C-alpha cells in the first residue's frame, strides 16, 4: 500500500507543479497576500500581538483553505470529468492509495507553503518565528485532513468543471472571515461566536494563532491580551478544538464514502 501511495503522490505532485493556474492561485496567491497585506497595516499592537503578526496567522489559515479544499476540489472534479480517475482505478492502484496519494501531495505542498510564509514574515515584516512549532504543525496537518476530506466529499456533488467556483467562493469568504483577516472573531457578539466555534475554520485559526504567538487565543475575550502559555498548555487549550475537527473529519469521511463519484457526470 505504501508503494502505491507514493506512486500516486509522485504523479499528483508532478501534475500540480505542471499546472500554472493551480500553482498561481493555490500556492502563489497566499504568498503575495502574506507579503503585501501586512505592509498595508499599521505596525501597531492589538490583543497582545502586532497587527501584522495577527494578519500573517490569518494568511496561514487562508493558504490552508485554498490548497487543501479549493485546489483539491478542482483537481478531483477535473480528473473525474477527464476520465483520469476512472483510468487510475482501472490500474492496480487501490482506491485508498489514490486518495492517500492526493492528500499526501496536498499536505506536502501546504507544509512547504507554510514554511515559506513563516520565512517571508520573518524577513519582510520582522515577525518572530512561531513560539510553539509542534502545535503549529499539528494544527496544520489536522486542518489539512479536514479540508481535504471535505473536498473529496463535495467533489461528488459538483456536476462539471467550472462549477467549483459556486462552492469555492463561499468557502473562501468563510475562510477570510473566520481567519481574522477581515475581523477578529473574538470581537463578534456571543450569539455569533458560539455557532462559529463549531465550524472547522475557528479551531484551525485559533490553533495556528496560539501556536505562532504563544498566547491563548482560544479563550480570548474581545481585544483583551491573551495569557502567555507553554507548549503543552497550547495543546490543552485546544481540547474542544480537536474534538470539533475530529467530528468534522469523521462527518466528511462518511459523506465522501456516499457522495464521491469515479465516473464523469453528464448534464
Report residue 206 CA to chain centroid gap.
13
Given a contact cutoff of 8 angstroms between Cβ atoms, the answer to whether 53 and 217 are in contact is no
Residues in the chain, overall count: 267
Q: Is residue 147 part of a domain?
A: yes
Q: Is residue 201 part of a domain?
A: yes
Q: Is residue 62 part of a domain?
A: yes
Given a contact cutoff of 8 angstroms between Cβ atoms, the answer to whether 227 and 220 are in contact is no
Q: What's the confidence (pLDDT) of residue 219?
A: 81
- Give phi and psi for 228, each to the nearest 5: -70, 140
> Model pTM?
0.92
Beta-strand ranges (E) seen in the chain are 45-46, 49-50
Q: What's the confidence (pLDDT) of residue 225?
A: 74
Q: Is residue 172 part of a domain?
A: yes
Residues in contact with 152: Cβ distance below 8 Å, sequence separation at least 6, in sequence order? 72, 76, 99, 252, 256, 260
Q: What is the C-alpha to C-alpha distance for residues 22 and 40, in angstroms, rounded to an integer?
A: 26
Question: Cell 468563510 sits at which residue?
Answer: 174
Low-confidence ranges of the chain (pLDDT < 70): 1, 41-42, 44-48, 181-182, 221-224, 267
Q: 45: burial class by Cβ within 10 Å (0-12, 13-18, 19+)?
A: middle
Q: Is residue 266 part of a domain?
A: no
Q: What is the C-alpha to C-alpha distance for residues 185 and 48, in angstroms, rounded to an integer?
A: 15
State pLDDT tens for residues 139-194: 999 999 999 999 999 999 998 877 888 888 888 888 877 777 667 777 777 788 88
Q: Is residue 199 part of a domain?
A: yes
Given a contact cutoff of 8 angstroms between Cβ atoms, the answer to whether 161 and 167 are in contact is no
Q: What is the C-alpha to C-alpha distance for residues 180 and 232, in angstroms, rounded to an integer?
A: 24
| Domain hosting residue 150, numbered range | 2-259
End-to-end CA distance of the chain: 36
Q: What is the C-alpha to C-alpha distance for residues 171 and 169, in angstroms, rounded to an integer?
A: 5
Given a contact cutoff of 8 angstroms between Cβ atoms, the answer to whether 96 and 1 are in contact is yes
For the record, the C-alpha cell of 223 comes out as: 481585544
Helix or strand (DSSP H, E) at 167: helix 165-178
Q: Is residue 190 part of a domain?
A: yes
Question: Cell 489536522 sits at which residue?
Answer: 142
Angle at 4 between CA 89 and CA 138, to 5 degrees: 110
Q: Is residue 98 part of a domain?
A: yes
Domain count, the chain: 1
Amino acid at each position: 500500500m505504501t508503494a502505491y501511495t507514493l506512486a500516486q503522490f509522485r504523479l499528483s505532485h508532478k501534475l500540480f507543479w505542471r499546472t500554472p493556474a493551480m500553482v498561481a492561485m493555490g500556492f502563489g496567491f497566499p504568498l503575495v497576500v502574506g507579503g503585501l497585506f501586512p505592509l498595508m497595516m499599521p505596525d501597531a499592537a492589538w490583543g497582545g500581538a502586532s497587527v501584522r503578526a495577527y494578519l500573517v496567522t490569518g494568511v496561514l489559515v487562508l493558504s490552508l483553505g485554498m490548497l487543501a479544499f479549493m485546489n483539491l476540489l478542482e483537481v478531483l472534479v477535473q480528473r473525474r470529468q477527464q476520465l483520469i480517475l476512472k483510468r487510475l482505478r482501472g490500474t492496480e492502484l487501490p482506491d485508498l492509495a489514490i486518495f492517500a496519494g492526493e492528500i499526501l501531495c496536498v499536505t506536502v505542498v501546504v507544509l512547504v507553503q507554510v514554511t515559506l510564509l513563516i520565512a517571508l514574515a520573518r524577513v519582510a515584516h520582522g515577525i518572530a518565528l512561531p513560539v510553539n512549532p509542534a502545535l503549529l504543525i499539528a494544527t496544520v496537518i489536522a486542518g489539512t485532513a479536514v479540508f481535504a476530506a471535505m473536498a473529496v466529499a463535495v467533489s461528488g456533488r459538483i456536476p462539471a468543471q467550472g462549477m467549483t467556483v459556486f462552492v469555492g467562493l463561499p468557502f473562501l469568504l468563510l475562510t477570510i472571515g473566520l481567519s481574522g483577516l477581515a475581523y477578529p472573531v473574538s470581537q463578534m457578539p456571543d450569539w455569533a461566536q458560539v455557532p462559529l466555534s463549531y465550524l472547522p475554520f475557528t479551531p484551525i485559526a485559533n490553533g495556528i494563532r496560539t501556536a505562532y504567538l504563544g498566547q491563548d487565543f482560544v479563550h480570548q475575550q474581545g481585544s483583551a491580551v491573551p495569557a502567555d502559555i507553554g507548549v503543552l498548555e497550547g495543546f490543552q487549550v485546544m481540547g474542544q478544538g480537536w474534538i470539533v475537527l475530529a467530528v468534522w473529519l469523521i462527518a466528511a469521511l462518511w459523506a465522501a464514502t456516499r457522495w464521491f463519484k469515479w465516473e464523469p457526470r453528464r448534464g
